[in-house]
Amino acid sequence: MENRINKKFIQLKAENRGGFIPFIVAGDPNLETTEDLILELAEKGASVIELGVPFSDPVADGVTIQASAERALQNPISVKGILEIVASVRKKGCETPVILFSYFNPILQFGLENFAEKAKDAGVDGILVTDLVPEEAAEFRSILAENDLALIMLAAPTSSDERLAKICAHASGFVYAVSRAGVTGARNETSSDAENLVQRLRNHTNLPIALGFGISTSAQVTETWKYADAAVVGSAIVAEMMRLSPDIKEVPGDFVERIGEFAGNLLPKA
């Protein structure tokens, strides 16, 4: 399968540099601003953009991402609306890969085949389903593959080698390595288990490996690039969004620019 994700990681490898994957929750502070943020993050050097689909019971997320989802759910928001903003940024010429980060329930309610077809048409490149285990992934993976969509799978340090092999067998696009057990959230230092997990995954796949959960500084991105193909930063960016706009109904005029600057500063200087 050849899509924007594959092309981006091939480009990064050719340029001998790591990838930067920012995460934001769609609809926080509103969908219009989310569209502007996608364009801004792409402009500031995002390799791939993770777009969270807000869900009412986000058990894998830490307090920051949960709070962001709660803010988003105060707005009129739907999977259809999120796909429409992806379609809109594509019409504006944005070619940065976009993956949706979701729980399975909203996708199931949309209808698996319908979702995959609409996601492809909108210009989505991959899907990460937080609560989809490899034992139950075959049908959805097949549906996504028919629509040239990658299935990003999560791998945790607590997983056995046998389980990592199953995860990698179902994954496409890249594998998302979780730096530590538990929920999402910024940390002052990355887990010592992270590098070991990435090396273990290399034994089971040739796919690129992105590391996330807890990366919140430029120094941590630099450290991550020494052994992983990309660094995912979510909670740090989301926390800055909530700091700059504590009230979603009063978004500062320079909000998008300031978030872009914050995200850009997480990228190590060449």
* Res. 66 pLDDT band, cuts 50 70 90: confident
Residue 60: its pLDDT value, please? 58
How does pLDDT run across 234-268, given as a tens digit for each residue? 999 999 999 999 999 999 999 999 999 999 999 98
Calculate mean pLDDT across residues 56-68.
75
Supply the pTM of this predicted model. 0.93
Can you state the percent helix, strand and coil of the chain, rounding each to 5? 45, 15, 40
Residue 193: its pLDDT value, please? 82
Active site residue 121: no
Residue 32: its pLDDT value, please? 97
Residue 63: its pLDDT value, please? 84
Distance between CA atoms of 246 and 108, rounded to whole angstroms?
32
What are the phi and psi torsion angles at 5 (to 5°)?
-65, -50
Active site residue 61: yes
For each of the domains in the chain, give its residue range(s) and CATH number, in order of start.
4-8+18-151+226-264 (3.20.20.70)
For helices 112-122 and 79-91, give the axis angle rounded to 10 degrees: 20
Query: 204 Cβ partners below 8 Å, 6+ apart?
Result: 161, 164, 165, 167, 168, 169
How does pLDDT run across 164-205, given as a tens digit for each residue? 999 999 999 999 999 865 444 444 444 578 999 999 999 999
Calculate mean pLDDT across residues 72-91.
95
Q: In Å, what is the CA distance from 187 to each residue of 191, 213, 215?
A: 9, 8, 7
How does pLDDT run across 223-235, given as a tens digit for each residue? 999 999 999 999 9
Residue 73: its pLDDT value, please? 87
Q: Are strands 19-25 and 209-212 parallel, antiparallel or unpaired?
A: unpaired
Share of the chain above pLDDT 70, in %: 92
Please give the biggest Cα pair distance in the chain.
50
Amino acid at 261: E
Q: Are strands 175-178 and 209-212 parallel, antiparallel or unpaired?
A: parallel
Number of residues that make up the chain: 270
Nearest C-alpha neighbor of 153 from the set 195, 209, 113, 198: 209
Distance between CA atoms of 155 and 160, rounded to whole angstroms?
10
For helices 63-72 and 235-244, give the axis angle rounded to 10 degrees: 50
Which listed residue (61, 125, 195, 223) is catalytic? 61
Which listed residue (28, 35, 36, 50) is catalytic? 50
